[in-house]
Structure 1
Amino acid sequence: MAAIRGAEAILFASAQPVGADELAERLAPGTDVPQVLADLRTIYASRGVNLVEVAGKWMFRTAPDLAHLLTREQVEPKKLSRAALETLAIIAYHQPVTRAEIEEIRGVTTNKGTLDVLMETGWIRMRGRRRTPGRPLTYGTTEAFLVHFGLEAVTDLPGVDDLKAAGFLEGAVPPGFRVPVPNASDALMPDEDPLTELDFQDYAPLPPEE
Structure 2
Amino acid sequence: MASLAEVRREEPEEEVSPMDPVARPEELRLLEALLFASAEPIDQATLAKRMPDGVDIKVALAQLQAEYAPRGVNLVRVANKWTFRTAGDLSWLMTRESTETRKLSRAAIEVLAIVAYHQPVTRAEIEEIRGVVTSKGTIDVLLETGWIRPRGRRKTPGRPLTFGTTDGFLSQFSLEALGDLPGLEELKGTGLLDSRLPTGFSVPSPSDDATLREDEEPLEPGDTLELLLAPAVEPEAEEPKTATEASAEAEMTAEAEIEIKADVADESEAAEADANEPDSHGDERGEADPEDRGE
Question: How many equivalent residue pairs?
Answer: 135
Q: Is the 8 A contact 2:118 2:204 kept in 1?
A: yes
1:131-169 Cα shifts (integer Å, max 9, x gaps): 110000000000000000011111110011111221222
Higher relative contact order (CA 8 A, sep 6+): 1
Q: Are positions 1:203 and 2:228 aligned together?
A: yes
Question: Is 2:171 aligned against 1:138?
Answer: no
Shift in CA distance, 190/105, structure 1 to aligned 2, threshold 3 Å: same
| Deviating more after overlay: 173-182 vs 106-115 | 173-182
- Cα separation, 1, equivalents of 2:201 and 2:207: 19
User: RMSD of the TM alignment (CA)?
Assistant: 2.0
Are positions 1:85 and 2:134 aligned together? no
Q: Are residue 99 (structure 1) and residue 128 (structure 2) matched?
A: no
Deviations for 1:41-82, whole angstroms, at most 9, x for unmatched residues? xxxxxxxxxxxxxxxxxxxxxxxxxxxxxxxxx945211111
Q: 2:217 aligns to what SS in structure 1?
A: strand
1:20 corresponds in structure 2 to none
Secondary structure class of the residue paired with 1:199: coil
Matched ranges for 1:1-210 at <5 A: 75=99, 77-200=101-224, 201-205=226-230
In the alignment, residue 155 of structure 1 is paired with which amino acid? G
Do 2:188 and 2:195's aligned partners in 1 also have CA atoms closer than 8 Å? no
Aligned mates of 1:206, 1:148 — CA distance in 2: 28
Structure 2 Cα separation of the partners of residues 134 and 75 of structure 1: 40
Match of residue 262 from structure 2: none
Question: Contact (CA 8 Å) 1:112, 1:206: kept in 2 or not?
Answer: no
Stretches (4+) displaced over 6 A: none
Matched-pair contact (CA < 8 Å) for 1:113–1:206: no
The one-letter amino acid of 1:102's match is I
Amino acid at match of 1:141: T
Preserved CA contact (<8 Å) 2:178 2:206: yes
User: Separation in 2 of the partners of 1:117 and 1:206?
Assistant: 14
Quote how far apart the aligned CAs of 1:191 are.
Answer: 1.1
For 2:206 and 2:116, locate their aligned partners in 1 and report how far apart those are by CA, in whole Å.
Answer: 7
Secondary structure at the counterpart of residue 103 of structure 2: coil
Residue identity in the other structure for 2:192: F
CA distance in 2, matches of 1:175, 1:203: 38
TM-score (norm 1): 0.60
Whole-angstrom distance in 2 between the partners of 1:151 and 1:205? 31
TM-score (norm 2): 0.43
Give unmatched runs, 5+ long, in structure 1.
1-73
Instruction: Give me the whole-angstrom Cα distance separating, in 2, the residues matched to 1:148 and 1:204.
Output: 22
- Superposition deviation, residue 197 in structure 1: 2.0
SS at 1:116 equivalent: helix
Of 160-169 and 74-83, more deviation after overlay is shown by 74-83
Percent identity over the alignment is 60
Q: Per-residue CA shift, 1:162-209, capped at 9, x if unaligned? A: 1122122243222211111112211111111111221115232569xx
